[in-house]
Structure 1
Amino acid sequence: MRIRSAVLALLLLALAACQATPRPAPAPDHRSSVLAGYYTEWAGYGRGYRVADVEATGAARRLTHLLYAFGKVDGGECGVGDAWAAYQKPIAAMDSVDGAADDADTPLRGNFGQLRKLKATYPDLKILWSFGGWTWSSGFTEAARDPERFARSCRALVEDPRWAGLFDGIDVDWEYPNACGLTCDTSGREALPRMLTALRAAFGAGAVVTAAVPGDVTKLRATDYRAAAGQVDWLSAMTYDYFGAGSASGGRTAPHSPLSAYPGIPRTTSTTESTVNELLALGVPASKVLVGVGFYGRGWTGVNGATPGGTATGPAPGTYEKGMEDYKVLVARCPPTGTIGGTAYAVCGSQWWSYDTPSTVRGKLAYAKSQKLRGMFAWELSGDSRDGALLAAAAG
């Protein structure tokens, strides 16, 4: 009887201890539909697109998440890309979200100061700091050697006291893990999952952690994206840039972001549908996939045919880069003349362009919904028209 009483007493003490120990709060439910858009750090220079324009075009009220691109990855750690643009540059009243100019006493200036003002007006808008991108992805190879150190540096930077509370999480844009982009990486199939696991541990369950993933199905097979998906809120599939002047289209015209295959497509796997199907086949849940839409077009010059597959002499001239132009420019200068594979194309003179329109964006949104995907994202906001036509279509 005494033994039983002692055992009972111990059980009661253990129960009391468990009840007294605070339990961690459950992770918030991030499973609602997502409409994300990238804002580039350099947009305020030659492009003249400022944080205030995110509101002026209607993007701020439509987006669920804004991704600020890019922070750099250097020396195995996260770093600021352009400090002047990010938080040092004084913003004039005419360029400010609230019409108030920065002065010498303004504690946080530049894009970060404006993003803070934007967030005050739209408190439900989540803002993530994206690291890497095409130019800075080579730094991920060193970061992958010590993912915990990398994650600690990222959290310290994202939560820096100078802009504490501005960012709701982090986005990783590694182009590409265990594959080739601007440079080639051989970190192994588990490098990205290990990095994302470290970031999730560092930032906690309540933060938003995301990653961009390639549209190329071959590159998708080089990394364990199923394991990666287990650590993030979503994976953003870069379902654009499948073709372009000088690419594997063989020098012939082809839309750069088809939703589906069409007769004569240079590679049948270079479509949004193929990318999504590959991710699902790899074990990534549909609820963890975003479809990407490019707010720009790719073009050829010296073209001999109105439909895809015509020969060309090279890339068409572009404002910032050969063979590329913003949607807002193309829709006025070279309006659509046809659609194929769920995207649009346009012929004007000797030039041939492909780009998405509000109509084709709505088609991609319908596809995402039919597959029960998490949502869509845009690269990048400055390419949209002043009335935000593309983002409005993506919002449904």
Structure 2
Amino acid sequence: MSKQRWGAAVLAGALAIGLSVAASPAQAHDRRGGDPVRTVGYYTQWGLKDRGIPVRYLVDNGTAARLTHLNYAFGLLDEQGRCVSSDPVADYQRLIPAEQSVNGRADQPGQALAGNLNQLKQLKKKFPELRVYISLGGWTGSKYFSNAALTPRSRAEHVKSCVDLWLKGNLPGTPAGAAKGVFDGIDLDWEWPATEGNAGNVVRPEDKQNFTKLLREYRTQLRQQGFKDRKTYDLTAFLPANREAMDRGYELADVYKLLTFATVQGYDYHGTWEKTTNQQSALRVPEGDPTTPKDSGEIVVDAHIERGAPLDKITLGVPYYGRGWTGVPDRNNGLFQQSTGAAPGSYEAGYEDYRTLKTLVAGGKFKLYRDDKAGHAWLFDGTTFWTYDDPTELARKGRFIRDRKLGGAMIWSLDGDTSQGELIRGLSSGLHRR
């Protein structure tokens, strides 16, 4: 038996008796004196179409060289729970011109694979240790996860369809296996089991138990496919900050055992679904915070640990965007004040990328405020308030992750950084000792 086959057999045995899943070789980075093992970034399907950010941007601004993992968001599920591409043009049909291409060569009509997936394939060739996952679901794409997880048959059919589409690379209208080798694993962004999340999601009380069963089905089929392909396929999931959602929707200790690692929500603690201005991603609860229950990175990390999460599997999320309110009284520098609603944003009200928020400070109208004790920053111009993370706060978060001996940082989303890569450089400076 070859070493690789022997390794697959050992992994199979471990999974059969419910042991924790070991890191794949590409993940077993030297911690360099206790440094975190991973930096995970989400690249969005709509990054090029809606924001003008091609995969090439991640090379040019220094991000790709600092990532260990990239999650491509999102693949969707149909009503029966099968995996589908929601935008075939963006995923694998659009011809990318030379100036936007990772390898500097333009796509040609008739080639087997184009679009974002071909660019990710080129990115992996340029950075061979980078692990790339397909992320399924997301806030607006979690409607049918409950259907997929409902029965043994639906779970098996769901996973089979995802393996066939994304790992075997059998995309509709392309040669068989055209996208094989692009993805090294699957990331589940079910938001949230047993809790509605986005309006209209299918929700069942048994989602909690079914999510664990779905992970077991994934492990079985990923092991089988990995054996055929002589490689290890990873399985990760995005897990919530909200403690009620944790307890209602997850057998968390079991979930962590089945995952290669988890990405944990480290943002959206507050936003314009509330009228009161507040931090969205502070490390600690700011003095005077009027809300109950309190939310912070420290609270969320501790909640996962209390529920059985191993430190090295917690990958704490950080935002490359801000949340904003307007109609805010000019008191307390705008913090903890009643607003009239969401601030205007480039893509949606109350939401703005860092690369745009940075220009507000440079323009001189907005003033930057910082709470070094709680670990958060905000902008205020006397009526409009933005809570956001800048390079200073991301460096602080990197140090927090390193000091707590967590597994790393996750970024939502990579298109929010500047062309100079200011955020990734700030985060990396905190994660790694110099």
- The answer to whether TM tops 0.5 is yes
Report the CA distance between 1:67 and its aligned residue.
0.4
Q: Deviations over 1:321-351 (max 9, x none)?
A: 0011100110111466212321111112421
Separation in 2, partners of 1:101, 1:259: 44
Q: Secondary structure at the match of 2:237?
A: strand
| Distance change in 2, residues 1:357/1:268 (3 Å) | farther
Amino acid at match of 2:238: A
Task: Classify the secondary structure of the residue corresponding to 2:287.
Answer: coil
Question: What is the one-letter code of the residue matched to 1:211?
Answer: A
Please point out which of 163, 178, 185 is paired with 2:194. 178
Alignment equivalent of 1:316, drawn from 328, 337, 343: 343
Kindly provide the CA deviation profile for residues 141-192 of structure 1, in whole angstroms up to 9, marking residues without a partner as x.
Answer: 1100122221111111112201111111110000001112013522332122
Distance 1:84 1:342 in 2: 41
Residue 63 (str. 1) matches residue 67 (str. 2): yes
How far off is 1:267 after superposition? 3.1
Aligned length: 374
Inter-partner Cα distance in structure 1 for 2:128 and 2:419: 23
Quote the residue 2:258 is aligned against.
231
Please give the alpha-carbon distance, in whole angstroms, between the structure 2 residues aligned to 1:148 and 1:377.
Answer: 29
1:245 aligns with 2:249: no
Contact 1:327 1:385 in 2 (8 A): yes
Counterpart among 212, 236, 239 of residue 238 in structure 2: 212
Say which SS state the counterpart of residue 138 (structure 1) adopts.
coil
Q: How does 1:57-96 map to 2 (within 5 A)?
A: 57-74=61-78, 75-96=80-101
Please, which moves more after superposition, 29-38 or 94-103? 29-38
| Bigger Cα displacement from structure 2, 237-246 vs 305-314 | 305-314
Question: How far apart in 2 are the matches of 1:237 and 1:147?
Answer: 24
Quote the residue 2:54 is aligned against: 50
Q: By how many angstroms is 1:264 displaced?
A: 2.2
Aligned with residue 378 of structure 1, among 394, 397, 411: 411
| Structure possessing the higher radius of gyration over alpha carbons | 1
Map 1:271-350 → 2, pairs under 5 A: 271-304=296-329, 305=331, 306-334=333-361, 337-340=368-371, 341-350=374-383
User: Matched residues in 2 for 1:178 and 1:31: separation?
Assistant: 34
- How many Å separate the matches in 1 of 2:422 and 2:394? 10
Match of 1:102 among 98, 107, 123: 107
Listed as ranges, the gaps of 5+ residues in structure 1 are 1-17
Q: 199-208 vs 320-329, which deviates more?
A: 199-208
**Maintained 8 Å contact 1:172/1:212:** yes
- Partner-residue secondary structure (3-state), 1:393: helix
Q: Which residue of 2 aligns with 1:129?
A: 134
Partner in structure 2 of residue 203 of structure 1:
222
- Corresponding letter in the other structure for 1:339: R
Once residues 215 and 184 of structure 1 are traced to their aligned partners in structure 2, the CA distance between those partners, rounded to angstroms, is 21
Q: Which runs of 4+ in 1 moved over 6 A?
A: none
Letter in 2 for 1:312: S
Residues 105 and 184 from structure 1, CA distance in 2 versus in 1: closer, same or farther, beyond 3 angstroms? closer
Matched, 1:142 2:147: yes
Q: Give the 3-state SS of the residue equivalent to 1:189 in structure 2.
A: helix
Distance 1:350 1:108 in 2: 49
What do the CA deviations read for 1:238-271 (whole angstroms, capped 9, x no partner)? 1111111232xxx221011111112222235311
Matched, 1:194 2:213: yes
Give the distance between the partners of 1:130 and 1:110, measured in 2 at CA: 17
- CA shift, 1:124, in A, is 0.8
Q: TM-score, normalised by structure 1?
A: 0.91
C-alpha contact 1:269 1:275 (8 A) present in aligned 2 = no
Higher mean displacement: 182-191 or 347-356: 182-191
> Which has the higher mean CA deviation after the structures are superposed, 177-186 or 46-55?
177-186
Q: Does 1:368 align with 2:401?
A: yes
Q: Is the 8 A contact 2:146 2:207 kept in 1?
A: no
CA distance in 1, matches of 2:139, 2:123: 27
Query: CA offset at residue 76 of structure 1?
Result: 1.3
Distance in 2 of aligned mates of 1:336 and 1:214: 32
Pick closer, same or farther for the CA change 1:285–1:31 going to 2, 3 Å: farther
After TM superposition, give the deviation of residue 383 of structure 1 in Å: 0.6
Separation in structure 2 between the aligned mates of residue 82 and residue 391 of structure 1, nearest angstrom: 28
CA contact (8 A) 2:327 2:384 kept: yes
Identical-pair percentage: 33
CA separation of 1:276/1:31 partners in 2, compared to 1, >3 Å: closer, same or farther? farther
Name the CA shift for 1:246/1:23 in 2 (closer, same or farther; >3 Å).
Answer: closer
1:355 aligns with 2:392: no
AA aligned to 2:83 is C
- Say if 1:93 and 1:78 are closer, same or farther in 2 by CA, change over 3 A: same
Is the contact made by 1:290 and 1:377 (CA closer than 8 Å) also made in structure 2? Answer: yes
Which position in structure 2 is the counterpart of 1:257? 281
